[in-house]
Structure 1
């Protein structure tokens, strides 16, 4: 029977929680005032004023002052607490409204990526990036949009790389189905934004095609470019950190004065490209095929050309490897560049 009564009382409180809360806030001040006066009176009847201030004519007055001070302090604390609750609730409501606005903006921006109009696609890219920038310094719960926007933009590039096969000879090659300006814009917002909001994310740009790309001064970290094609592109003064460029194909790519730290070019085919003035640390070109590649003035530190194939005109002038034969470089470059 006692259990049933407790359960019934609990259900009553739960069902009338809002009403009880409203009554609580409406009458809490009166409750505290009358409660404090009542307690003060009870203590007075038990001689608290004499105990505190002695049996003197002024004892009652001092006691009343003390009760009034306690009451005033309690009301101030209560007022601050209620105000904080109101501010917290308002903040919560604002966050809900803001999230709703972001959700709507995100949906509209993502929809633009499916447009046939280049201007609409570009608008969608910048709108998504703007959302990512805003939430990157905002509410912790909304920062997940940064990763979502990042993944959408990367997937967009990968999904718009098509493989075409020649029906006569069966030869296949990859092309980019979108205008260069679209891919250029995505790469710009990913790797040339001053806030580096995507810098701590792993970027998958494998099996893509980049043609006439210009991302000079870009910063790329933890990017997978495996089996990607770079054609007639410029990445001068760029920074590559812990990136994979394995099995890539590069033709007429300019990396002048760029920095490479822990970057793998293994099994890549690189031709007609420039690495002049580059800084390379802990990077490998294992089994890569190099044709007409210029490393003039490059700074090598623990750079390994193991089993590399130098087809023709690979220039190591003004580097630590100058004067060594191709065979010596591909067999001993790891120790020569320590």
Structure 2
């Protein structure tokens, strides 16, 4: 009896501890339910605000959804879907915007509406790891002059931009890995230092785009716009800025790179078969990295490298059979083991070029 009496205080203390733990657990559960209820209320209110005729109220709804996305991982995918649908609905159709030429003299006239800009900005700054399968679909939208600040916060991997009008958009440093840019219009867009690794560029137009320092490793090629008969069918990179771009393993056969700037570009093992590189500028201090690059011609027409500036370029092992190199500057270029069988070399400058193991070059 004495032992039982001595143990009663301990049992009472244990019972009190268990009771307190159960109360804390219940309170915590009730708090979570209350918080979820509050988030649901906030979510519904924000959705209602998106339908307002007042711009201020719509912007308030977008910023409320941004806060919900930050506070609740569970609601994050739903917010992504809502804001994507809102931006696509309110941005306007690229089918209409593409009928009009871009007025370079008035760059801020055709910018996205403030609420569309805010919605896309919110999507670009989210944490993609919380998407849980939600897709940002901005296909066929008018996003001319879209401006997203050039910083690491721009995260749009796997974004769908099919047939979107992104002419002169500012996407410097954007994360666009595996983006679907099928038939997208990115003429004169700022994509410097952007990560386009694995992006689908079929029929995309990037004429005049700034792509220096961009990561284009493994981009999904197709053909380039090479003339009126193929207009709109191919990747167009003519007159683009690709200085320092990473194009390793990129599949860009048939791509139009006429007048493109490729200084310091890394083209190792890239597929540029039948590419139009007429007047392309590869000039660098240390030589463009192009070892193993394929510049294979098609049929009677080889790669178009007329007047190409390949001074000091590293074209070791390059396949240039049938290429048109008339007037090309290959001064001091490394042409070791390169194949020039059947290439047109009238007027080509080969002074100081390394020719060990080359095939098809005149003595």
Distance 1:227 1:161 in 2: 13
Distance 2:118 2:88 in 1: 15
Distance 2:295 2:88 in 1: 35
Q: Secondary structure at the match of 1:332?
A: coil
Query: Would you say 1:281 and 2:190 are equivalent positions?
Result: no
Query: Would you say 1:250 and 2:190 are equivalent positions?
Result: no
2:260 matched residue in structure 1: 314
Query: Would you say 1:302 and 2:249 are equivalent positions?
Result: yes
8 Å Cα contact 2:165/2:186 also seen in 1: yes
Residue 313 of structure 1 deviates from its aligned partner by: 2.4
Residue 259 of structure 1 deviates from its aligned partner by: 2.3
Distance 1:180 1:198 in 2: 27
1:37 matched residue in structure 2: none
Query: Would you say 1:70 and 2:7 are equivalent positions?
Result: yes
Distance 2:68 2:185 in 1: 34
The TM-score, its normalising length taken from structure 1, stands at: 0.67
Distance 1:183 1:225 in 2: 15
Distance 1:179 1:258 in 2: 21
Distance 2:202 2:136 in 1: 19
Query: Would you say 1:233 and 2:169 are equivalent positions?
Result: yes
Within the candidate set 129, 137, 155, 1:219 is matched to: 155
Within the candidate set 47, 51, 57, 1:114 is matched to: 51
Residue 67 of structure 1 deviates from its aligned partner by: 0.6
Deviations 1:9-64 (A, max 9, x none): xxxxxxxxxxxxxxxxxxxxxxxxxxxxxxxxxxxxxxxxxxxxxxxxxxxxxxx3
Query: Would you say 1:148 and 2:81 are equivalent positions?
Result: no
> Mapping of 1:3-152 within 5 angstroms?
64-136=1-73, 143=74, 145-152=75-82
8 Å Cα contact 2:95/2:140 also seen in 1: no
1:158 matched residue in structure 2: 88
8 Å Cα contact 1:253/1:272 also seen in 2: yes
2:355 matched residue in structure 1: none
Flag the structure with higher helix content: 1
Distance 2:56 2:111 in 1: 12
8 Å Cα contact 2:167/2:186 also seen in 1: yes
Query: Would you say 1:192 and 2:129 are equivalent positions?
Result: no
Flag the structure with higher strand content: 1
Larger radius of gyration: 1
Distance 2:160 2:261 in 1: 27
Going from structure 1 to structure 2, the CA distance change for 1:274 and 1:333 (only over 3 Å counts) comes to farther
Q: Secondary structure at the match of 2:237?
A: strand
2:208 matched residue in structure 1: 272
Distance 1:120 1:292 in 2: 43
How many residues were matched structurally? 259
2:240 matched residue in structure 1: 293
Distance 1:165 1:93 in 2: 51
Going from structure 1 to structure 2, the CA distance change for 1:69 and 1:282 (only over 3 Å counts) comes to farther
Distance 2:88 2:138 in 1: 6
